[in-house]
Amino acid sequence: MSCSFDLEDGFNGPVCGLDEAGRGPLAGPVVAACVYVPATVRDLPFWAEVNDSKKLSAKKRDTLFDLIQTHCVCGIAEASVADIDQMNILRASLHAMSKAFDLAGGTADWLALVDGNQKPKLPATIQTVVKGDSKSRSIAAASILAKVTRDRIMADLCAQYPVYGWSKNAGYGTAIHMDAIEKHGVTPHHRTSFAPIKKALGHAA
């Protein structure tokens, strides 16, 4: 199944896509986005390029980010490092999705297509879609908004903490990042509930 509006077309009512970015990194927030694509804009040419954000270049994601926000109803939210460490990364991700849905103005008559197999708490009907960012254009659009937003957050944080290379690794545990943790320690933006950070702090993993 290629990325399309087929899932959206099967529902008689507003359909939004939900996705998150940043579950795996050792630092920074997790960001979620909700996108409702009105039927009136689904024929615009740029939709042919909308796909799983990981399959697109950074330049293409930036271009699509602006187009999606211009033509769609969107909500973008984050769960902080404190949220992640307090409630765990899965719950924090779902919490961010719930906030993004609310920011998009989602209501009980919407259908929410959610990437993955876990359901956030929403007042709407939910359909989970494994690898949804490669199947649903609404989810793919949400994946682009979430990733671009998070990458920009990490680039801003990298300006304050340049040794960790966050503008390039987005907080993932790359060799440069891990070496910097060993040499310089952890920052307030590191997730202390994640095993490599616990180890760096001297706690049992």
C-alpha to C-alpha distances, 192 to 32, 85, 128, 169, 180, nearest whole angstrom: 21, 6, 29, 18, 16
Strand partners, 78: 31
Q: Does 19 belong to an annotated binding site?
A: yes
Is 109 flagged in the annotation as binding? no
Residue 53's φ and ψ, nearest 5 degrees, are -60, -30
Structure tokens at 22: 């940043």
Of 175, 156, 84, 54, the residue nearest 166 (C-alpha) = 156
Both tokens of 8, joined, read 């959206």
Is residue 115 a known part of a binding site? yes
Numbered residues of the known binding site: 19-20, 115
Numbered residues of the known binding site for a divalent metal cation: 19-20, 115
